[in-house]
Amino acid sequence: MNDLTPVQTQEAQTAAEACGRAPVGLLAELTHKCPLQCPYCSNPVELERANTELTTAEWQSVMRQAADLGVLQIHLSGGEPTARRDLEDIVQVASEVGLYTNLITAGVLLTKERLAKLKDLGLDHVQLSIQDVDDANAERISAYKGGLQKKRDVGRWVKELDMPLTVNAPLHRANIENLPNIIDFAVELGAGRIEVAHVQYYAWALKNRSALMPSRAQVIKTAHIVEEAKERLKGIMTFDFVVPDYYAKTPKPCMGGWGRGIMNVTPSGRVLPCHAAETLPGLEFDNVRDKTLREIWINGQAFQKYRGFEWMQDPCKTCPKREFDFGGCRCQAFAMTGDATNVDPACSLSPIHQDFVQIAEEASKQEAPAFVYRRMAPVKAKAPAEA
Ligand code: SF4
Ligand code: SF4
């Protein structure tokens, strides 16, 4: 990987003083357009339409402001970021201002020429998502034909262009038994890193919870497979392994703590502390069309709301682990209890933890229902009076 070249300015120092630190990463959701329709997509159920997207100049301004603020890494995401024809113009500016650029892509729209051009303009890293390594199952999960062969091509091009590659493998009950083959596939592609990430149940995945939830025994088996592969592939490929919250005893430090390290900019410029934050009531999301990233990071109501520890209730308020897990996920706490200040039910100290576990166990035992595919809602016809 290339060296990171953070831009340290007075502005970055001020932001760091005000908020403890400047954000390390910014997730730029360039568009919600995507030719795939994965039922676990982390995009919101209400997808943003192309006619609301930030312009090229607006995204370039976001890149400059991010660097000034002290952001180190830009994750160019979507939807499918290569669906933006101006991706090259955005990458060029991000690279010029010293940001480490990571393209998170399903790969199916890329050509080798385009990838080479992106590299020439400064793209540092490619993160290629896969649905499965069985062609028919990959097509079923993504509702897209021929995707796996295209991913093989993209993986090969990335290596031919001598770029670092991460394979991103979301895991769920429809592909979990193929994990050993998924790991082999990543090695064959020459990936230096694999993210084996059990699906987290927000947005589309929450809609598809019963279709996606594996059993506890399956999850434990994946942990053993990853441990064995980690050992066997030392020096060849590194692993990031994310377990599903439903079978955990303590929650993960969601986003590394609210408003602590990550900003998420949606296609239309709304700035969120996490990609699921729009599911929470009472938050006001500022837009990069109206305010600077710096103002939003330091003073944005949505960033302030759950930053630090003041908002916590017991058991988190007095728990020594709060410094490490920040009480878990606000969005999951709200989705399961109706109050975002409650302890994340993934924690064994949550009064509803057992119910939470039971939901997963029962869902995994039932026959998997059909997927609800990620699709843009049809535009509603206007009533004559509105037209
Ligand atoms: S998860 Fe699937 S549908 Fe969602 S953006 Fe990625 S490839 Fe597209
Ligand atoms: S009580 Fe709160 S801070 Fe303590 S382990 Fe559980 S979620 Fe973390």
Judged by average pLDDT, the poorest of 150-154, 159-163, 237-241, 247-251 is 247-251
pLDDT higher at 384 or 187: 187
Distances (CA, A) of 386 to 50, 218, 219, 283, 383: 22, 52, 51, 29, 5
Strand partners, 195: 168, 240
pLDDT higher at 308 or 14: 308
Q: Could you tell me which of 193, 199, 190 has the C-alpha nearest to residue 230?
A: 193
pLDDT tier for residue 378 given thresholds of 50, 70 and 90:
low
**pLDDT value at position 8?**
42
Q: Is the CB of 132 under 6 A from ligand 1?
A: no
Of the residues 337, 347, 356, which should be mutated to test ligand 2's pocket, given the most ligand atoms within 8 Å of the CB? 347
Rounded Cα–Cα distance for residues 255 and 267 (Å): 20
In this structure, what token pair is assigned to residue 152?
């093989």
Q: Is the CB of 322 under 6 A from ligand 2?
A: yes
**pLDDT value at position 355?**
92
Q: What is the pLDDT of residues 48-100, one digit of tens each?
A: 999 999 999 999 999 999 999 999 999 999 999 999 999 999 999 999 999 99
Q: Taking all residues of the chain, what is their mean pLDDT, rounded to a whole number?
A: 91
pLDDT tier for residue 337 given thresholds of 50, 70 and 90:
very high
**pLDDT value at position 3?**
31
Q: What is the mean pLDDT of residues 368-373?
A: 94
Ligand number nearest to the C-alpha of 375: 1
**pLDDT value at position 256?**
86
Backbone φ, ψ for residue 332 (5° rounding):
-70, -40
Residue nearest to atom 7 of ligand 2 (CA): 327
Judged by average pLDDT, the poorest of 28-37, 44-53, 104-113, 188-197 is 44-53
Residue entry with tokens 């502390």: 273
pTM score of the predicted model: 0.90
Closest atom of ligand 2 to 326 CA is 3
> Which secondary-structure segment (H or E) carries 22?
none
**pLDDT value at position 244?**
81
Report how far ligand 1's centroid is from the alpha carbon of 18 (Å).
35
Q: What is the pLDDT of residues 203-226, one digit of tens each?
A: 899 999 999 999 999 999 999 999
Task: Using a pLDDT cut of 70, give the percent of the chain over it.
Answer: 92
Q: What is the mean pLDDT of residues 104-117?
A: 98
Three-state secondary structure call for residue 76: strand
Q: Is the CB of 81 under 6 A from ligand 1?
A: no
Closest atom of ligand 2 to 250 CA is 5
Question: Would you say residue 122 has pLDDT above 70?
Answer: yes
Give the single-character DSSP code of 134.
Answer: S
Q: What is the mean pLDDT of residues 133-139?
A: 97
Backbone φ, ψ for residue 109 (5° rounding):
-100, -5
Q: What is the mean pLDDT of residues 305-315?
A: 93
**pLDDT value at position 380?**
59
Q: Is the CB of 346 under 6 A from ligand 1?
A: no
Contacts with 74 (C-beta within 8 Å, 6 or more apart), sequence order: 25, 26, 28, 63, 66, 94, 99, 100, 101, 102
> Which secondary-structure segment (H or E) carries 123?
none
Going by DSSP bridges, is the β-strand pair 100-105/73-77 parallel, antiparallel, or unpaired?
Answer: parallel
Report how far ligand 2's centroid is from the alpha carbon of 325 (Å).
7
**pLDDT value at position 262?**
93
Backbone φ, ψ for residue 176 (5° rounding):
-60, -35
Residue nearest to atom 5 of ligand 2 (CA): 321
**pLDDT value at position 382?**
53
Give the single-character DSSP code of 287.
Answer: B
Residue entry with tokens 């900003």: 263
pLDDT tier for residue 31 given thresholds of 50, 70 and 90:
very high
Report how far ligand 1's centroid is from the alpha carbon of 34 (Å).
6
Dihedral over Cα of 77, 81, 84, 88: its sign? positive
**pLDDT value at position 249?**
82
Q: Is the CB of 254 under 6 A from ligand 2?
A: no
Q: Is the CB of 251 under 6 A from ligand 2?
A: yes
Calculate the dihedral angle through the C-alpha atoms of 275, 279, 284, 288, rounding to the nearest 10 degrees: 30
Question: Would you say residue 116 has pLDDT above 60?
Answer: yes
Distances (CA, A) of 63 to 68, 259, 290, 360: 9, 19, 16, 40
Rounded Cα–Cα distance for residues 269 and 29 (Å): 9
Q: What is the mean pLDDT of residues 261-272?
A: 96
**pLDDT value at position 18?**
46
DSSP string of 224-286? HHHHHHHHHTTTT-EEEEE--GGG-SS---GGGSTTTSEEEE-TT-BEESSTTGGGSTT----
Closest atom of ligand 1 to 35 CA is 8
Report how far ligand 2's centroid is from the alpha carbon of 199 (Å).
22
Task: Using a pLDDT cut of 90, give the percent of the chain over it.
Answer: 83
Q: Is the CB of 41 under 6 A from ligand 1?
A: yes
What is the layout of strands, in order, in the sheet containing 262-265?
Answer: 238-242, 193-198, 165-171, 125-129, 100-105, 73-77, 25-29, 262-265, 271-272
Judged by average pLDDT, the poorest of 72-86, 130-144, 349-363 is 349-363
Cis amide bond preceding 315, omega within 30:
yes
